[in-house]
Amino acid sequence: MFDHPSFDQHERVVYAHDAATGLRAIVAIHSTARGPGAGGCRFWQYNSTHDALADALRLSRGMSYKNAMAGLPLGGGKAVVMIDARSPKTPAMLEAFGRFVDSLQGQYITAEDVGASVADMEIVATRTRYVSGLPRTAVSSDGNPSPKTALGVYLGIKAAVKYKLNKNELRGLTVAVQGLGGVGFELCKLLAADGVRLRVADVREAVTQKASHQFDAAVSAPDQILFERADVVAPCALGAIFDANTIPKLQTSIIAGAANNQLATAEDGARLHAAGVLYAPDYVINAGGIISVGREYLGGATAESITAEIHRIPVRLTEIFERSSATHRPTSELADEMARQLIAEAR
Ligand code: NAD
């Protein structure tokens, strides 16, 4: 682990195996300086344990940065479960995973991520209380964080437009949205209500049809949407979409969307900066969901206090934009630096 290219001062990495259910899981805890390491659990068919470890190390560090920048008293952690045809995800495996999480005694708090559902987390919760994002908690009706994420992205887009285009309103502007899932579709609702001209793309045709009818949105091909002429491009589907090939083709001056890990490599943040594109760092603008889920887990929050916290996302983004202008450095680099500083201060 210490020699792994993705190792970055992680506090703990724990492996678990359960012969009866085929569970093979890794929990990486990057930092508990600000609080217990919180981050979802990914069920995925990895090519090797090395790849699974890379994901756990990389994603747990990302959660440390995200939680710190969201102002939450939480550290960063992530779990990966290696599944395959011989060891598929089963209720018994989820229970075994719950026992594993419980054995860490609250140093790691899990939640749903790729390959896991709210229903899965309810099974995990029968074996441990260190799980968040559950339905029917005090301030949420269904445990679904997507509308909260969409609200944060919408407010972030407004902040970016104010900063880059010096406009207080979105009315009449064009926003291109890639991906109309839980977050993307909700985002379109908020933007359409503000009089934004929408351009959308999704690999699911039914959902683009729906957006076209509901919001009078123009539909683009999924492989073209990022390169449309638009005031803002909002990626809400895949990661690793901005690289040396795609950045020169952009026809926007603002990128502000929900997708995780939008930059293929750290250098791509510098490429966007050099191209004059204002990039809202993904883990800062998409924190609405973790704010909601995290606060529900920690307790003591109300629907109003959670909304108020989400309204601080644009304030944080504007601070990053201003620092970027003042120092001529990429927003992605500055966000990482600010996150590392918050963690170091807590330590
Ligand atoms: P989702 O799975 O509900 O939606 C993703 C959508 O993207 C789907 O409609 C899918 O068909 C579409 N899609 C897939 N490949 C595509 C392609 N090549 N081109 C166009 N569309 C494509 O996911 P979501 O919950 O809406 O999350 C969207 C992104 O935001 C993800 O990257 C996710 O990690 C990130 N994110 C989500 C949340 C949240 O609260 N849900 C929070 C933070 C970050």
Q: What pLDDT does residue 63 have?
A: 96
Ligand 1 atom nearest 178 alpha carbon: 20
Ligand 1 atom nearest 149 alpha carbon: 40
Ligand 1 atom nearest 237 alpha carbon: 7
Q: Ligand 1 centre and the CA of 212: distance in Å?
A: 18
Q: Ligand 1 centre and the CA of 235: distance in Å?
A: 8
> Hey, whose CA ends up nearest to atom 31 of ligand 1?
259
d(CA 51, CA 56): 9
Phi–psi pair at 125, nearest 5 degrees: -70, -10
Q: Ligand 1 centre and the CA of 80: distance in Å?
A: 19
* Ligand 1 pocket mutation, candidates 140, 177, 188, 202, criterion most atoms within 8 A of CB: 202
Residue 100 · residue 6 · CB < 8 Å: no
- The secondary structure of the chain in percent helix, strand, coil, rounded to multiples of 5, reads 45, 15, 40
Q: What pLDDT does residue 140 have?
A: 55
Q: What pLDDT does residue 139 have?
A: 57
> Hey, whose CA ends up nearest to atom 3 of ligand 1?
181
d(CA 5, CA 7): 6
Catalytic residue among 78, 89, 158, 164: 78
* Ligand 1 pocket mutation, candidates 113, 203, 220, 293, criterion most atoms within 8 A of CB: 203
d(CA 2, CA 129): 30
Annotated active-site residue 78? The verdict is yes
Q: What is the pTM of this model?
A: 0.94
Name the residue type at position 185: F
Q: What pLDDT does residue 143 have?
A: 65
Q: What pLDDT does residue 134 have?
A: 80
Q: Ligand 1 centre and the CA of 181: distance in Å?
A: 5
Q: What pLDDT does residue 296 have?
A: 87
Contacts of 175 (CB under 8 A, 6+ apart): 157, 191, 196, 197, 198, 199, 230, 231, 232, 233, 234
Q: Ligand 1 centre and the CA of 40: distance in Å?
A: 15
Specify the CATH architecture of the domain 146-286+314-346. Answer: 3-Layer(aba) Sandwich (3.40)
Please, what sign has the CA dihedral across residues 270, 275, 276, 278?
Answer: negative
Contacts of 297 (CB under 8 A, 6+ apart): 38, 109, 132, 133
Q: Ligand 1 centre and the CA of 180: distance in Å?
A: 7
Token couple for 211: 């957006």
The domain limits of the chain are 12-63+74-124, 146-286+314-346
Region 12-63+74-124: CATH code: 3.40.50.10860
* Ligand 1 pocket mutation, candidates 69, 144, 183, 295, criterion most atoms within 8 A of CB: 183
Q: What pLDDT does residue 85 have?
A: 95
The reply to whether 12-63+74-124 and 146-286+314-346 are identical in fold is yes
Q: Ligand 1 centre and the CA of 327: distance in Å?
A: 33
d(CA 114, CA 112): 7
Q: What pLDDT does residue 145 have?
A: 85
Mean pLDDT by 10 residues, the chain (347 residues): 92 98 98 97 96 95 97 97 97 98 98 90 96 70 81 98 98 98 97 98 98 98 98 95 98 97 95 98 96 91 95 98 98 98 96
* Matching residue, tokens 């699974």: 52
* Ligand 1 pocket mutation, candidates 112, 236, 263, 282, criterion most atoms within 8 A of CB: 236
Which residues contact ligand 1 via a Cβ below 6 A? 145-146, 149, 178-184, 201-204, 207, 222, 236-239, 258-260, 286, 289
